[in-house]
Structure 1
Amino acid sequence: MNRDTLADTLEDAGLSPYQADAFVTLLERGSASATDIAKASSVPDARIYDVLRDLEEDGYIETYEQDSLHARAHDPSDVLSDLRARADRFNTAADEIEDRWSRPALEDHKVSIVKRLDTVLARTDELIRSAEDQVKIAVTIGQFDELSDALAAAYERGVNVKVCLSTMDDDPSLPDDSVFETTCTEARYRKLPSPFLALIDRSWACFSPHGRSTDQYSIIVNDLTYAYVFHWYFLTGLWEFHESVYSERRDGEPITYVDMRQCVRDIEPLLEDGASIEATVHGFDTETGRELTLEGTITDATYAGINAADEREATISQLAGKVSITLETDGGTYTVGGWSALLEDVEATKITIGSLE
């Protein structure tokens, strides 16, 4: 660092231009009279004594009398500590500016647009760790690895976790079943580039275009309506038609659904065959908003689409409208809808099929 750059840096640290110039001059000379310092620097003769006294008060130099006023540079340990502390504060401030630039004010906005995928991944990790009912996520294998600890924690709490894995590689290395067994309820594989999408508890949606997109931005949404739109994109574009690579479902064990449409697709053929289906429904009373749990027998499943006579299972397009089940309990008969149910008695968040007869 040359002389002028050192002086400029000392000015940035709080010294005046005259103080910085005088101090650098003393560093070069070791000690000198006030007159000589003024001659060797840009400090005017009339100002040199005030400049030296100010430097002494700040701990940069010490003065002494020797026929005239002389000065020498003080032991630099205190000065160096101060400069390094200032540098640390600048670094901290730089980190804070970067963090505030990239971090959305989530508490103030339902929809936040951010510039960095890292911000979305960090927020998704937090949301997954606080999830209560369900997580649907579309990720690359690398992103899955990054979020696997959070997914495992949610799955261990009983959260229903669906993972859609995508890749831009020709021959990806998929995680083995032992990884899926501890992180998700079901996993599917999409052999196409996909955006990053995470849906948490029907309320939060985190989205970022795939890596080859020309538009690089990310969205974090805390809104039921917007999240519902992303849910349908996940269902139709990233989930429905792609290969399943893992499922925890086992024959003879209770089956839990967090999606009413998937539940109706599975049970409708059984109802047509006269099966008696025992179920437990967790959800909310659509009139009061009160949380409730109902146990009873599913007696009917209805949806707006028309099923072809030769089809045993309804297609996703036929289930795009109103879908519901009827549950008979000891306390009465209830109609049960799915996400954002308005016309039914209950909005279900979870349906567990206990037994079939």
Structure 2
Amino acid sequence: MDSETFVTVLEDAGLSPYEAKVYVTLLDLGTASATEIADESDVPGPRIYDILRSLADRGYVETYKQDTLQARAHDPTDVMENLQERANKFEAAAAEVETRWEQPELKSNKASIVKRFQTVVDRAEEFIRDSENQVHLSATLEDIDQLEDALREAHDRGVAIQISLHTQADEDPPQADRFNGICKEARHRRLPAPFVALIDRQKACFSHHPDSIDQYGMLVNDQTHSYVFHWYFMTCLWDHCETIYTERKSTPPIEYVDIRRLVGDITPFVEDGVTFIVSVEGHNVQTGEPQAFTGRVTDTEYATGIDGAEAPYRVAGQATLYVETDDEQLSVGGWGAVIEDVEATQIIVEDADHSVELN
């Protein structure tokens, strides 16, 4: 580093221009008289004594009398520690600039674009750790390895987690026990796919798969926007994929977070006269207030599509559950319900008056 740049850096570290020049001069000279220091540093003679006194007070130099006032640079340990501390603060500030630019807070913003895939995964991990109800995840095995601790903690809290593992076409999935304790169900897609994480119907993290031309990610904190990613997940990354692990039981009690799956499973039995008892947790569509109740299923409404086809039509159209409680009859819909009384976040089939096995 040349002397001019060195002086500028010391000024940035808190020295005045004259103090910086005098200190650099003393480092070069070792020991010198005040007059010599003034001459070498181009500092006005009348000012040199005040400057040396100031530097001595701050621990940069030490002065002593020997015919004339002499000065030498003090042991630089304290100076170096001070400069290193400042350097660390600037380095930390630079890292914070990058972090805040790459990982914008999703408070006032409903959606943000980010550059790095790792940013998307990191934010997904954060959201999963805070999850309360459900997580839908499309990821590679490497991504799942990184998110495993967060997934396991959420699973232990009772969060309903569904994982769509995507691999290369010729790559087999791991053994089923790989998913034990981190999700309720896992499916396998033999094609590369984007990374998608949907948390509590509110937050979404998305990034193109690594071979895509466009490399960017999206972070969303908004139910309406997340709903679009939900449909993409269900139609392209879930409904048609092979189940490779499940904790779901086939006989009651059975928990559902997807009303379309529930209605599709029980509709044939309801049409045959079977009565189901269900517990519902969700929100009142009109008021947004939490609502929970238990009652008897009286009917269902389920759009199966053209000529009775179920896929991909089972993820479109109306899916409604009609439940009679002791006080009233309520219509129950799923995510985005607008015509029903209740938007359900969880439904448990508690019992049935006939022996049934659901898919």
- 1:174-213 matched pairs, under 5 angstroms: 174-213=173-212
1:76 Cα deviation after fit: 2.4
> Percent same amino acid at aligned positions?
48
Q: Does 1:151 align with 2:147?
A: no
Query: 1: CA distance between counterparts of 2:176 and 2:154?
Result: 18
Query: 1: CA distance between counterparts of 2:48 and 2:10?
Result: 18
Residue identity opposite 2:213 in structure 1: T
SS of residue paired to 1:85: helix
Structure-2 change in CA distance of 1:51 and 1:303 (3 Å): same
Query: 1:236: which partner in 2?
Result: 235
1:27 Cα deviation after fit: 2.3
Query: 1:35: which partner in 2?
Result: 35
TM-score, length basis structure 2:
0.89
Query: 2: CA distance between counterparts of 1:29 and 1:290?
Result: 78
Residue deviations 1:228-263, cap 9 Å, x none? 111100001111111211111233342211111111
Query: 1: CA distance between counterparts of 2:68 and 2:313?
Result: 97
* Higher deviation after alignment, 146-155 or 14-23: 14-23
SS of residue paired to 2:135: strand
Q: Does 1:338 align with 2:334?
A: yes
Query: 2: CA distance between counterparts of 1:19 and 1:319?
Result: 74
Residue identity opposite 1:321 in structure 2: G
Residue identity opposite 1:220 in structure 2: L
Query: 1: CA distance between counterparts of 2:103 and 2:207?
Result: 15
Query: 1:348: which partner in 2?
Result: 344
* Higher deviation after alignment, 4-13 or 283-292: 4-13
- 1:127-276 matched pairs, under 5 angstroms: 127-168=127-168, 170-171=170-171, 174-276=173-275
Runs of 4+ in structure 1 off by over 6 angstroms are none
Query: 1:284: which partner in 2?
Result: 283
- 1:19-168 matched pairs, under 5 angstroms: 19-45=19-45, 47-168=47-168
1:35 Cα deviation after fit: 2.5
Query: 2: CA distance between counterparts of 1:96 and 1:169?
Result: 40
RMSD, aligned α-carbons = 2.4
Q: Is the CA contact (8 Å cut-off) linking 2:260 and 2:314 kept in structure 1? A: no
Query: 1: CA distance between counterparts of 2:303 and 2:252?
Result: 30
Structure-2 change in CA distance of 1:237 and 1:70 (3 Å): same
Q: Is the CA contact (8 Å cut-off) linking 2:321 and 2:332 kept in structure 1? A: yes
Gaps of 5+ in 2: 355-359
Residue identity opposite 2:10 in structure 1: L
SS of residue paired to 2:339: coil
Query: 1: CA distance between counterparts of 2:317 and 2:291?
Result: 25
Residue identity opposite 2:224 in structure 1: T
Q: Is the CA contact (8 Å cut-off) linking 1:303 and 1:319 kept in structure 2? A: no
Structure-2 change in CA distance of 1:212 and 1:68 (3 Å): same
Query: 2: CA distance between counterparts of 1:255 and 1:228?
Result: 25
Residue deviations 1:286-322, cap 9 Å, x none? 23333222222223221345563xx5x7333255122
TM-score, length basis structure 1:
0.89
Query: 1: CA distance between counterparts of 2:104 and 2:115?
Result: 10
Residue identity opposite 2:210 in structure 1: G
1:277 Cα deviation after fit: 2.2
Query: 1: CA distance between counterparts of 2:346 and 2:215?
Result: 36
Q: Is the CA contact (8 Å cut-off) linking 1:13 and 1:86 kept in structure 2? A: yes
Gaps of 5+ in 1: none
Q: Is the CA contact (8 Å cut-off) linking 1:307 and 1:318 kept in structure 2? A: no
1:338 Cα deviation after fit: 1.3
SS of residue paired to 1:232: helix
SS of residue paired to 1:340: coil
Residue identity opposite 1:272 in structure 2: E
SS of residue paired to 2:320: strand
Query: 2: CA distance between counterparts of 1:103 and 1:143?
Result: 18
Query: 2: CA distance between counterparts of 1:17 and 1:334?
Result: 78
Query: 1: CA distance between counterparts of 2:243 and 2:314?
Result: 22
1:168 Cα deviation after fit: 4.5
Q: Is the CA contact (8 Å cut-off) linking 1:334 and 1:346 kept in structure 2? A: yes
Q: Is the CA contact (8 Å cut-off) linking 2:305 and 2:313 kept in structure 1? A: no
Residue deviations 1:89-132, cap 9 Å, x none? 22222222222222213111112222333332222222212222
1:137 Cα deviation after fit: 0.8
